[in-house]
Amino acid sequence: MTAKTARIVACAWTLPLTLALAACGHSPPTRYFSLDAVPPRAPLATQRMAPVQLGAVRVPAALDRPEIVAHGAGHRLAVREDDHWGAPLAEMMRRALAQDLLARLPAGTFVLPEAPAPAGARGIVVTVLDLRADPNGALTLEGSWTLTAGEPPRAVTTQTVALTEPMSSSDSAAIADALSRVLARLADRIAASLAAQR
């Protein structure tokens, strides 16, 4: 192989590698989003009630993934590869809902998730059937929450929920904001139900 041929071969290998590296250098950075607690609109309940602890928040497998998922036309899911949740979605929803419940229930009533619960503490399990961020600018959560008591735990009451919040845009930040508000409304309903039961 002559020196000239060697230079041509080297250039033939170098050009694709350079283009590939340049393409990688221009890929958009991954954005991470969180869910936030929303302060209660009504005054904090003050009546005494039995302690309660938030257990599981169950989310459909199609949505419980690192990427943020929106719904498109034709039954399509739009998985946003560059927009991720800061933690597993079910875990983030449980944390935000726990913060919301802590702000809405009487002091000493709510036991944080994973914390040791006192004897006789009741449990809450949230089951999400569907969580839909649709192109019409709304986020809807459909599912139920169940209050459990006893040992072994048994269902005391189960209530279905269908909550919708408007989104300011279809951006992932708007999805996170709407989901935070939906969870706060769910906390409002749970707190009101617990206050009625004592």
Domains in the chain: boundaries = 33-197
**How far is Cα 100 from Cα 95, in angstroms, rounded to an integer?**
9
The answer to whether residues 25 and 95 touch, using CB atoms and an 8 Å cutoff, is no
Q: Cβ of 188: how many Cβ atoms within 10 Å?
A: 18
User: Residues 4-23: pLDDT tens digits?
Assistant: 444 444 444 454 444 444 44
Global pTM? 0.83
- Domain spanning 33-197, CATH class: alpha beta
User: Residues 107-132: pLDDT tens digits?
Assistant: 889 999 999 999 889 999 999 999 99
Using alpha carbons only, give the angle 94, 156, 104 rounded to the nearest 5 degrees.
45
> Which DSSP letter does residue 44 get?
P
